[in-house]
Amino acid sequence: MNFNKSWTLFLDRDGVINEKIENDYVKSWSEFTFVEKSVEAISFLSKIFGKIILVTNQRGVGRGLMSELDLISIHKRMIDEIKKRSGRIDKIYYCTDVLDTDECRKPNTGMAILAKNAFPEIDFTKSIIVGDSSVDIEFGRKLGFTTVFINSSNKEVNYKFDFKFNSLHDFAQYLNTN
């Protein structure tokens, strides 16, 4: 595929940009650890894609384990670190609802619709979602995105995706060599 500035990159957060905490949530900056080379990957991807949008389910807020201000603070620090290394994320959308029926909770498409409303130039047929779970892939498939599954543990999955890589960095390396 020939990706360029007319394409939009949608990224999941936990398990793609930062290490996922199994059976828990990243509730503070002290618990946030970037996946190895993910910031470098975002810096490289920032040169290719016209927009980079973060879409993340954050049920921990809805469950009262952290505040929305805690989440905003984590995202601000994350963006600052990415910017320091010449990367960017153009907008962050998050869903704090605990119910799977909420229109913005992936795999529902509300966050992508909000992004399209804010950036009308987004073309879903020229969009990619990079995520590490079935809800990320299903979200992308519903919208006609190219889907990239990050499978750092090489676990067997029973859902269809377009590409599979061990990390966001591996995906960026693939684009750099193709």
**Which residue numbers are catalytic?**
12, 14
Buried b (16+ CB within 10 A) or exposed e, 27-62: beeeebebbebbbbbbbbbbeebbbbbbbbbbbbbb
Q: Is the torsion defined by CA of 158, 10, 29, 73 positive or negative?
A: negative
42 dihedral zone (left: phi>0; alpha: psi -120 to 50; beta): alpha
With tokens 């979200």, the residue in question is 139
Measured in degrees and rounded to the nearest 5, phi and psi for residue 37 equal 65, 10
